[in-house]
Structures are given as C-alpha cells and as structure tokens.
Amino acid sequence: MKQFIRAIDKNSSCLQYVVQKMVGICLEKIKDSIFNCPQIRQLTKDPKFVKSMNEKEIKAWMSFVLVMKKFLRNYKAENYVKIVNCMLDNFRDLCCNILPDKIFSTPFLMKTNKCTQFKQ
C-alpha cells in the first residue's frame, strides 16, 4: 500500500479520492502512506476508488489486492509465485520498485516467471 500511494501522481484523482475517503486521517499520513488494515480493507472494497485510477494504477492495485487475498493470509495459493511476480511487474510499470533486485535471486520469487493477468 505504501509503495502504491507513493508511486501514483500526487495530483491524480486517485490520491484525491483517498484524501476525501479518509476524512479522519491527516494529509501528511496519507502522503507518507500510513494506513492500518481496516483502512486498506475499506479501499479494497470501494469500487469508486478503482474508478478514480488510470489503467496502470488499476493493474497495480488489482494485483496488490490479489496478493493480499492469495498470499498474505494464512492460505497461499498454489500459483502464489506468479501472483506475486505479476504484482511486482505491475508496480514496476507504475515506476515503483517494491523490492530490491536482490530479492529475485531467492528461490521463491524468480524473475523468469512472467506476469499473466489473473482474474479474481
């Protein structure tokens, strides 16, 4: 979430929507991407949030949501490596590097796994 908010354009309608949606949070916390789990869940369930994004932001956001559902919980999908790599590719397209390149040398996330779009 932190990397996503930092990567989007500061004048974008997406960030403006987050500011409007998170009324109780000060603007500095939003710009520093300080969110708690209920706030992130609230955004994942909000269709207007997705409508406020451009195409690259939508791809990055949807892949982030998919990683949250299929990898970050107690259950790991069988294809979690592809799901995580897809998210990393989409975030790179958004000009955002979540993890340093060194992480790709680890066995569970290999750079050779190409991103294929997954549907929820």
Residue 7 domain flag: yes
What integer pLDDT is reported at residue 29 of this predicted model? Answer: 77
Among 17, 88, 15, smallest CA distance to 46 is for 17
Residue 116 domain flag: no
Among 19, 98, 86, smallest CA distance to 59 is for 86
Tell me the residue range of the domain where 22 lies: 2-105
What integer pLDDT is reported at residue 115 of this predicted model? Answer: 55
Cα 110 to chain centroid, rounded: 19
pTM, entire model = 0.74
Residue 51 domain flag: yes
pLDDT in tens, the chain (120 residues): 778 888 888 788 988 888 888 877 777 777 777 788 888 888 899 999 999 999 999 999 999 899 888 887 777 888 888 988 888 888 888 887 665 443 344 444 444 445 555 444
Please state the domain count of the chain.
1
Residue 82 domain flag: yes
What integer pLDDT is reported at residue 96 of this predicted model? Answer: 74
Residue 112 domain flag: no
